[in-house]
Amino acid sequence: MINQELIGKWSTPVENWIEKGAVRKFAEAIGDQNPIYVDETYAKNSRYGRIIAPPTFVRTLEYGVIEGLVIPTEGLIHGEQQFHFERPLYVGESLWCSYCLGDTYSRSGSLGKMTFLIFEEKGVTSQGETVFTSRSTVIMTQRSDT
């Protein structure tokens, strides 16, 4: 069971550098050949003026630790994923990322008792500019509860 008192408690933000090599490898891994993710010259001439990261790259960042929150590592199902962008992530910048457990509730379903964990994440520049917010729904099945 997840301690309900942890709802709304944010992790201490962690600094993430958006590295050129990491973005290139990610773009390769998802098979996206858009030059905006890899080609310096192309990206310089785009309206962003620099290389950007693919939208789902956000999910690869580190978000820190919420003290007291223990989540099983097995039997988890990624149910939903939402991203909201104020702008793309720029290669070469650093973002301070943190997350919190926004909500949790249980339902009975085809897999038995399922516990839904709704996580909120955000990435903020050192200047305090929020670049993205996201929400991830993770489902704990009975298998992960035991």
Partner 1 sequence: MRYPVGTSLPTLVKGPITKMDLVKYSGASGDFNPIHTIEEFAEQAGLGGIIAHGMLSMAYVGQVVTDFAGIDADLVDFGVRFRAMVRPGDKVICKGTVSKVEEKEDGEYVYLQVIAETENNQVVIKGNATLRY
In this complex, which beta carbon is closest to partner 1, that of residue 31 or of residue 68?
31
Q: How far is the CB of 29 from partner 1 (least distance, A)?
A: 4
73 near partner 1, rule: CB under 8 A: yes
Is 118 one of the binding residues for partner 1 (CB under 8 A)?
no
User: Which string of DSSP letters, residue by residue, matches 77-131?
Assistant: EEEEEEEEESSPPBTT-EEEEEEEEEEEEEEEETTEEEEEEEEEEEEE-TTS-EE
CA distance 35 to 47: 13
Task: Kindly state the number of chain residues that form the binding site for partner 1, as judged by CB under 8 A.
Answer: 33
* List 11, 18, 66, 88, residue binding partner 1 (CB under 8 A): 88
Q: Are 50 and 43 in contact (CB under 8 A)?
A: yes
Shortest Cβ 68–partner 1 spacing (Å): 23
CA gap 129, 32 in Å, rounded: 28
Applying the rule CB under 8 A, the residues between 29 and 58 that interact with partner 1 are: 29-32, 34, 36, 46-47, 54-56
Instruction: Compute the Cα dihedral for 15, 134, 113, 76 and give only its sign.
Output: negative
Which residues in this chain contact partner 1 in the complex, by CB under 8 A?
22, 25-26, 28-32, 34, 36, 46-47, 54-56, 59-60, 73-75, 77-85, 87-88, 135, 143
